[in-house]
Amino acid sequence: MASNETPRQWLQRTASRGARWSRLSVLAGTLSTLVLLVQAWCIATIAQRMVIDSTDFSALVTPLLLLPPAFIARGLLVRARTICGARGGIEIRQSVRRELLERIAVLGPLWARRQHSATLSNRIWDQVDALQGFYADYRPQMLLCGIIPIIILIAVAPLSWAAALILIATGPLIPINMAMVGIGAKKRQEDQFLEMGRMSRHFLDTLQGLSTLKLFGVSKRQADEVHTTSESFRRRTMRVLRLAFLSSAVLEFFASVSIALLALYLGFVYLGQFHFGMYDHGINLFMGLFILILAPEFYQPLRELGVHYHAKAQAEAAAEDLMPILNRRVFERDTDQPAWQPKGSLALSLEGLTARYAGRSSAALDDISIEIRAQEMLAVIGPSGAGKSTLLNVLMGFMHPEAGSLNVLESDQTPRALIDIRSDDWQLQIAWVGQTAVIVSGTLAENLRLANAEASDQDLLDALEQAALQQWLTGLPDGLDTRLGEGGRAVSGGQARRIALARAFLRDARLVLLDEPTASLDQASERLVMEALARLCKGRTVVLLTHRMELLALADRVLMLDQGRVQALETLDNLRAPGGPLARSVSAHPSETRDV
C-alpha cells in the first residue's frame, strides 16, 4: 500500500468492496432513463395525434397502454437504485470499520492508550459513517452523469442538432460550478471534523471528571465551556450546510436557465423566427414535446451530483483522518509461516532483550536475559517504572524489542523465535487477567465466550465452577442468559475478577499472564480469587505481576526489576533470607499479609 496515496485514490480503491451494489445502482439508473424515453414517446405521441393529427381513438391505444406501466416501472427502478446505492454504502462502511478495528487490534493496547478515547470512537463511528453519502449517492451518480446525458443526446440529436448543441453547451455550467463550490467545501468539512473531535474529547473529559468539578465548585463554569464548544461546532456545521444548500440553489438556477434556452429556441422555431437546426423534416409538436420532456432529465444527473457533492468533500475529509491509522506501518511477522500449535508446555528464553517506548530516551527493559521454565510460576516485582508492565506487553506481542530476542521453547522441540510465530497463533496460547476486568453489555454466556466463541454451555458451567462462581450462578434469575453490564445485573469487583478468571479457564492456554489479580479486593473476594488462581496456574507457565506477599508465596521464583534491569532472580525464601532484598518485608506476624 503506497504511503503517498491520496484520500481520493483511497476512496476509489475502497469502492471495490461494494462494487456489485454500485453496478446494480447504475444499471437501475440507466434502465430508468430508457423507460423515460418510452414515457416521453407516449406523451408526445398522444399530444401529436390528438391535437395536430386529430386521429381516431384507436391510434392512441398503444401509447395509452404503455404509459401506466412505464410510470410504474420507472418508480420501481428509482427505488431499486436508491436501495442498491444504500446497501453498497453500508457494505463498504462495515468493511472499513472492521478493517479499522482490526488495525487498532494489531497496533495494540499501547498505541490505543495514547489516543484519546473520544477521538478514537469518533473515527470508528462518525468518520466511517461519513463515507456513506459518497458511496451510496455521489459515486453512482458520477457514473450516471457519463451515461444518462449520452443516452438523451442520442435520442435528441436526430430530431434537432441545434437542441443537442444547446444541451452540450449548457451542460458544463453545472460541473464548473460544482468544482468551484468543492474547493471550499472540503476545507470546511475538515474543520468540522476537527471541531467534532475536539468537542468529543472535551465532553468526555468533563463527564469523567464531573465529580471532581463538583467537589471544587467549578461545574457551572465547565458547563459554560461545554456550551461554548457546542456552539462553535454548531456554527461550523451550519456553515457546511449553508454551502450545500446555496450550491444546490445555484445548480437549480443554471439548470432552469438551460431548459429555458431550449424552450426559447423551440418557441421561435414554431413562430417561424428560427430556421436552423431542424435538418429537412422540421420540428413538429411531437418532436418539440419529446425534447422538452427529456431536457430536465439531461441536467438531472448533474444537479443530483451537485446536491451530493458535499458528500464527496465529507468523505475525503474523513478518509484523510482514517488513512494514517489504516496505512500505519506496524511490526509484521512473516505471513507465510505455517500455523503453529504447541504440543506441550511452553518455556521462554529472553536473551539480551531491550525494549523502548516511542519518544523515550531510556529503555523500559535494558538487556534482559532470563529463562522462564515450563510450568513454573514466575512472580515479577519492582517499583513503579521498573519495567514490569513492559515485560508483559513484550510477552503478549504488543511491544516489539529493539534488540535481543524472545524465544519459545516447547518440550523436545527446537527453540523458535517469537517473531517467527504468527501473532494470532501466539496469542491463542495466552490467557491474561488484569487489574480491571471488562464486563460488556450482554449475557453472562456472551461475556464468557469472549475467550472461546465455540465453548458449549457445559464448558461455561465448568469454567464458572473453577472460578468459584457456581454459587453466584445459582442466584442469577436467568442463569447463563442473565444480562450483565449496562442495563443488566450489577457485578461486584470480586465477581468481575472471577469472571475474568473463568475466561482464562475457557481459554485453556499454555501461558498465563497475571497483572495484580487481587488488587482492590476485600479479604473474602481475595481468598476466592487466590483459590481459583491456584487451580488455573496448575500445569501452566505463569508470569505474575504482584506486590502481595501471599501471591508471591505461590511463585516458584521471583524476578526483581529496577529501571528496566534484572536485580535478582531467586526463590522467595532466598530473597527473604537475612541480608536478602526482601528481608525487611518479612512480617513479625506471619499470618499478616504485607505488600512488598
Residue 411: phi and psi, rounded to 5, are -65, 130
Q: Report yes or no: 29 and 147 within 8 Å, Cβ to Cβ.
A: yes
A 10 A CB-CB count for 14 gives: 21
DSSP helix/strand/coil, 324? helix
Query: According to the model, what pLDDT value does residue 593 have?
Result: 43
- Which of 379 and 174 is assigned the larger pLDDT? 379
A 10 A CB-CB count for 296 gives: 16
- Which of 596 and 529 is assigned the larger pLDDT? 529
**CA 337 from centre of chain:** 28
Tell me whether residue 357 is in a domain.
no
CATH (domain of 222): 1.20.1560.10
Confidence of residue 1 (pLDDT cuts 50, 70, 90): very low
Please name the amino acid found at residue 39.
Answer: Q
Tell me whether residue 27 is in a domain.
yes
Where a domain ends, among 482, 508, 534?
508
Helices (H) and strands (E) in the chain, counts: 23, 12
- Kindly state the average pLDDT of the residues 215-234: 77
- Kindly state the average pLDDT of the residues 328-334: 56
Three cell numbers written together for 297: 432529465
Q: For residue 555, is pLDDT > 50?
A: yes
A 10 A CB-CB count for 120 gives: 16
Three cell numbers written together for 479: 442463569
Q: For residue 460, is pLDDT > 70?
A: yes
Where a domain ends, among 508, 536, 559?
508
Query: According to the model, what pLDDT value does residue 35 have?
Result: 95
Q: DSSP secondary structure string, 352-402? A: EEEE--TT-SS-SEEEEEEEE-TT-EEEEE-STTSSHHHHHHHHHTSS--S
Q: For residue 110, is pLDDT > 70?
A: yes
Distance CA 157, CA 429 (A): 71
Confidence of residue 40 (pLDDT cuts 50, 70, 90): very high
Distance CA 93, CA 181 (A): 26
DSSP helix/strand/coil, 490? coil
Q: For residue 334, is pLDDT > 70?
A: no
Q: pTM for the complete prediction? A: 0.66
Q: For residue 177, is pLDDT > 70?
A: no
Q: For residue 587, is pLDDT > 60?
A: no
Same domain, 250 and 126: yes
Tell me whether residue 572 is in a domain.
no
CATH (domain of 492): 3.40.50.300
- Kindly state the average pLDDT of the residues 195-224: 74
Where a domain ends, among 508, 534, 567?
508
Q: Report yes or no: 481 and 443 within 8 Å, Cβ to Cβ.
A: yes
Instruction: State the total domains in the chain.
Output: 2
Three cell numbers written together for 407: 524465544
- 492 lies in which domain range? 438-508
Q: What Cα–Cα distance (Å) separates residue 127 from each residue in 97, 120, 142, 319?
A: 10, 10, 22, 8
Distance CA 109, CA 97 (A): 18
Query: According to the model, what pLDDT value does residue 68 have?
Result: 93
Residue 379: phi and psi, rounded to 5, are -90, 140
The single residue listed with the C-alpha cell 483459590 is: 531
Distance CA 419, CA 407 (A): 9
The single residue listed with the C-alpha cell 464468557 is: 448
Distance CA 283, CA 163 (A): 11
Q: For residue 424, is pLDDT > 50?
A: yes
The single residue listed with the C-alpha cell 526463590 is: 571
What torsion do the CA atoms of 511, 516, 520, 525 make, to the nearest 10 degrees?
Answer: 40
DSSP 8-state symbol, 476 = S
Which secondary-structure segment (H or E) carries 511? strand 511-515
Q: For residue 26, is pLDDT > 90?
A: yes
User: What are the tens digits of pLDDT across the range 51-74?
Assistant: 888 888 888 899 999 999 999 999
Angle, alpha carbons 154-158-159 (nearest 5°): 115
DSSP 8-state symbol, 482 = -
Q: Report yes or no: 403 and 353 within 8 Å, Cβ to Cβ.
A: yes
Which secondary-structure segment (H or E) carries 348? strand 346-355
Tell me whether residue 246 is in a domain.
yes
Same domain, 319 and 445: no
Helical packing angle, 285-307 and 148-156, nearest 10°: 170
- Kindly state the average pLDDT of the residues 344-368: 87
Query: According to the model, what pLDDT value does residue 135 have?
Result: 92
Q: For residue 588, is pLDDT > 50?
A: no
Q: Report yes or no: 242 and 192 within 8 Å, Cβ to Cβ.
A: no
Average pLDDT, the chain: 83
Query: According to the model, what pLDDT value does residue 54 have?
Result: 80
Please name the amino acid found at residue 269.
Answer: V
- Sheet containing 511-515, strands listed edge to edge, beginning at the edge strand earlier in sequence: 430-433, 511-515, 541-545, 377-381, 557-562, 565-570
Query: According to the model, what pLDDT value does residue 412 have?
Result: 63
- Kindly state the average pLDDT of the residues 378-382: 91
A 10 A CB-CB count for 108 gives: 18
Confidence of residue 179 (pLDDT cuts 50, 70, 90): low
Helical packing angle, 173-208 and 309-326, nearest 10°: 50
Q: For residue 343, is pLDDT > 50?
A: yes
Q: Determine which of 115-119, 213-217, 573-577 has the lowest per-residue pLDDT on average.
A: 115-119
Tell me whether residue 106 is in a domain.
yes
Q: Which long-range contacts (CB under 8 A, 24 or more apart) does 462-467 make?
A: 462/505, 463/502, 463/503, 463/505, 463/506, 464/502, 466/501, 466/502, 466/505, 466/532, 466/535, 466/536, 467/498, 467/499, 467/501, 467/502, 467/505, 467/532
- Kindly state the average pLDDT of the residues 348-377: 88
User: What are the tens digits of pLDDT across the range 468-527?
Assistant: 888 888 888 888 999 987 778 888 888 888 898 899 899 888 899 988 888 777 888 888
Tell me whether residue 562 is in a domain.
no
Nearest to 286 by CA among 505, 46, 456, 588: 46
DSSP 8-state symbol, 428 = T
Tell me whether residue 495 is in a domain.
yes
Tell me whether residue 204 is in a domain.
yes
